Amino acid sequence: MRQSGERPMSGAPTGVDRRGAVTRISSFLAAAAAWLRLSVTRRPTGEHHEAPSSAPTRRLRKIATEEAFTIPEVSAAMLEVVRRGGPALDLKLWTLVYNTTPVEPTVARAPSAAGVDRDALARQFLPRLLDVEHARLAEMDASGVDVHLLSLVSPGVQMLERDTAVSLARLSNDRLSETIRRHPTRFAGLACFAPQDPAAAAKEMERAIQSLKLNGFLVNSHTNGVYLDDQRCWPILEAAEALDAPLYIHPRAPSDGMAAPFRDYRLEGSIWGYGMETGTHAVRLMLSGVLDRFPRLRIVLGHMGEALPFWLWRLDYMASPGSRAALKNSLKPSEYMQRNFSITTSGLEDPLALRYVIEKIGVERVMWAIDYPFQQTEGSVAFIESAPLSETEREQIAHRNAERIFRIAD
């Protein structure tokens, strides 16, 4: 499952010294982390802000459920990928993140103002992804965030050569588990795996749950253009179902087969392409019959469900069971949504959209998220604290649903 246009890594010199890259990234991390700790500001103790009428009446526990991190070894491997180049649309963003002269960030948190230079901001993501236990915790404390559910940043290990991907997935999960053990009340974790080797992926998924005690899995949508409805990927779905652990399908840029219209205007990323690509992945799972083969599979989608809740009426109308010869689904898409899917609010802080998904799929299927470090922590916190919700709804979305779905200790 090699991405079109990618050269095999093994046996081919790349011109990148990975050990040197790891050392440079680690040194940069140490300097940037110190700067970031100074940059995280707290409100003065005596400062008063009038709460909106819909604000919670008591201190709200908050579990953020789509929060990225990375490790130096994965960063070094991704540097090789971006320097090698190729047609993959993911490279538009990750070249800015990895293949840039390291500089100290000019801001500690992602700004929310319209018109911010997001390309410049992308060059500041790497130190925040690498620093899990210092600046991140300070920022969580400053904004009243109790827990980050951590996951390896997109595209995970899914753009790497197979053996490298398998090895680095295992290393990343080990590091994640160690971090959680050091901070058991502040972090939980979703394991990564290498879909390039489905059998190895299934074994790593089992180890992640049974030995490392992680809380589920995250996959960054397609791997080299192959989606999870492909029979080659069924060992991954079988493992997720057998382990009764949720599988978070996180966005990445559209695969080569659907890439052409997304190459202009930066449409490939969070503006449009991420949601369209990942929503398409979820619909493939629904209409392929895969969710009938694995009926207990539990899937999580970010960004208010990647637009699927808003399309459910039309999906049901056009894709009811037996309505087209190519369809293999035995249920309506809305029935799969109610049975197999939960969603998070990551990166979509719209009270009207939140109310719609609550009414459409049920408040018990909605969880709060920030999308750290790509979204502003303070803005995400203000959203969940001020959205027009009942106290019960707010508690469900802010923490109780995550505690139940991801089995995070209260």
- In the set 90, 131, 256, 371, the catalytic residue is 371
Phi, psi of 218 (to 5 degrees): -135, 130
Single-letter amino acid, residue 156: G
Spatial distance between the Cα atoms of 4 and 25, rounded to a whole number of angstroms = 29
- Bridge partners of 248? 218, 300
Helix 162-182 and helix 198-210, axial crossing angle in degrees, nearest 10: 10
Phi, psi of 285 (to 5 degrees): -65, -40
User: Which positions ≥6 away from 83 have C-beta within 8 Å?
Assistant: 14, 15, 16, 99
What DSSP line would sit under 208-268, residue for residue?
A: HHHTS----EEE-S-BTTB-TTSGGGHHHHHHHHHHT--EEE---PPPGGG-GGGSSTTTT
Q: If we measure between CA atoms, which residue out of 102, 144, 121, 71 comes closest to residue 374?
A: 121
371 is a catalytic site residue: yes
Helix 333-340 and helix 273-287, axial crossing angle in degrees, nearest 10: 100
Spatial distance between the Cα atoms of 247 and 299, rounded to a whole number of angstroms = 5
Spatial distance between the Cα atoms of 287 and 290, rounded to a whole number of angstroms = 8
- Provide the b/e sequence for 140-153 (b: ≥16 CB within 10 Å): bebbebbbbbbbbb
- Provide the b/e sequence for 36-68 (b: ≥16 CB within 10 Å): beebbeeeeeeeeeeeeeeebeeebbbbbbbbb
What DSSP line would sit under 169-225, residue for residue?
A: HHHHHHHHHHHHHHSTTTEEE-B---TTSHHHHHHHHHHHHHTS----EEE-S-BTT
Catalytic residue numbers?
A: 371
